[in-house]
């Protein structure tokens, strides 16, 4: 069973191909479109060892030349030095403006490679082949590319839409369990922020999704991507409604910064905690119910995701430590942070008038859990 969803951006509309084995058709679909007949690939070195030979064989059969650059996985790769090194390797290979770059890996590689594509020769085309659940339902779609700086996550980058996204669920067979859980946080996020019926479906079918049942998995990915495609089509550059997709990310990114991107806290784990905190903030502001908060937290916890302070690895966490990265968040305007606050399960709003005292209270409560 395969699905195709279009991200509707006028002349820049592109397809998201979803299903088991969809990657098998990439070479045939692109062979005659590649002029010159070659692909420049930026790949996660571990993922490439597992899945690269099959892709290489497919491309060789279609007589597509491959120029490969591999990088380590992990947030440390989204850095200025790695970005510069990949650019220099691509330029040394003789890359031209007509070339197409292919990102092969999780969200880190997709973000990095997309930014390389946006930057080289002032912009070349690229294709996303996400290999983690988190990248498949979130970062590979929508054109956000970039790297981290010492001041925070994703603060340097560009909007650069791919020409196509290939979401092959077969690639998830080698995904570690912890990465599965982290990706599921982004799936649940879509139900929380946009579609209460989807969240209700996840409450009953989530175990099947997490067990790798192909029907349930493809349904969850398709519904997640459909929501993101709808939002991106309405607001490509995040001037309004697209900001809602950051539910849980203001808190989550702050936690990631404190943990130093060293692997003790994955992005999806930070988002899970952040979603719980967002619902706590909604309850504190009188905008959403405590019942919704508990329902969301219970679902995330049942998926094996962190919700409470005690669920995280040891680290010095204080109110001041959390506020420092939150005030460097991309959504800060005129020195005021923007919070995505739920009003129910399936409905959220951007709020730039949240009293600091309310945020402090919610964070202090969480720090004691």
Residues involved in catalysis: 122, 144, 186, 228, 238, 242, 246, 249, 253, 267
Give the contacts of 204 (CB within 8 A, at least 6 positions apart): none
Strands 125-130 and 14-19 come out as unpaired
Dihedral angle sign, alpha carbons of residues 49, 50, 55, 57 = positive
The whole-angstrom separation of Cα 278 and Cα 266 is: 18
Report the 10 Å Cβ neighbour count for 295. 17
H-run or E-run covering 152? strand 152-159
The whole-angstrom separation of Cα 253 and Cα 307 is: 15
The whole-angstrom separation of Cα 275 and Cα 305 is: 11
Of 148, 149, 147, 145, the closest CA to residue 124 belongs to 145
Stated length of the chain: 369
Residue pair 224/186 in contact (Cβ under 8 Å)? The answer is yes
The whole-angstrom separation of Cα 32 and Cα 20 is: 24
């Amino acid at each position: 069973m395969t699905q195709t969803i279009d991200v509707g951006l006028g002349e820049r509309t592109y397809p998201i191909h979803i299903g088991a084995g969809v990657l098998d058709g990439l070479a045939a679909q692109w062979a005659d479109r590649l002029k010159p007949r070659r692909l420049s690939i930026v790949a996660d070195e571990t993922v490439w060892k597992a899945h690269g030979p099959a892709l290489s064989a497919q491309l060789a059969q279609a007589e597509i030349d491959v120029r490969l650059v591999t990088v380590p996985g992990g947030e440390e790769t989204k850095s200025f030095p790695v970005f510069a090194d990949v650019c220099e390797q691509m330029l040394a290979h003789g890359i031209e403006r007509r070339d197409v770059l292919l990102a092969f890996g999780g969200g880190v590689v997709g973000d990095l490679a997309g930014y390389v594509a946006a930057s080289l020769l002032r912009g070349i085309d690229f294709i996303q082949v996400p290999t983690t659940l988190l990248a498949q339902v979130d970062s590979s779609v929508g054109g956000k590319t970039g790297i981290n700086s010492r001041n925070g996550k994703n603060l340097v980058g560009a909007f650069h839409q791919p020409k196509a996204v290939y979401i092959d669920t077969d690639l998830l067979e080698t995904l570690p369990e912890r990465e599965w859980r982290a990706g599921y946080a982004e799936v649940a996020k879509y139900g929380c922020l946009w579609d209460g019926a989807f969240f209700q479906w996840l409450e009953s079918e989530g175990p099947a999704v997490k067990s790798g049942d192909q029907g349930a998995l493809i349904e969850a990915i398709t519904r997640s991507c459909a929501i993101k495609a709808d939002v991106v089509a309405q607001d490509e550059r995040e001037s309004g409604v697209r900001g809602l997709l950051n539910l849980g990310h203001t808190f989550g990114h702050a936690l990631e910064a404190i943990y130093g991107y060293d692997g003790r806290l994955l992005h999806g784990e930070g988002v899970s905690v952040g979603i719980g905190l967002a619902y706590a903030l909604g309850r504190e502001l009188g905008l959403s119910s405590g019942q919704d908060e508990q329902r969301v937290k219970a679902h995330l916890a049942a998926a094996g995701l962190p919700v409470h302070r005690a669920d995280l690895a040891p680290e010095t966490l204080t109110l001041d430590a959390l506020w420092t990265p939150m005030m460097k968040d991309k959504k800060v305007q005129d020195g005021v942070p923007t919070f995505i606050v739920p009003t129910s399960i399936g409905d959220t709003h951007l709020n730039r008038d949240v009293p600091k005292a309310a945020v402090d209270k919610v964070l202090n409560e969480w720090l004691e859990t």
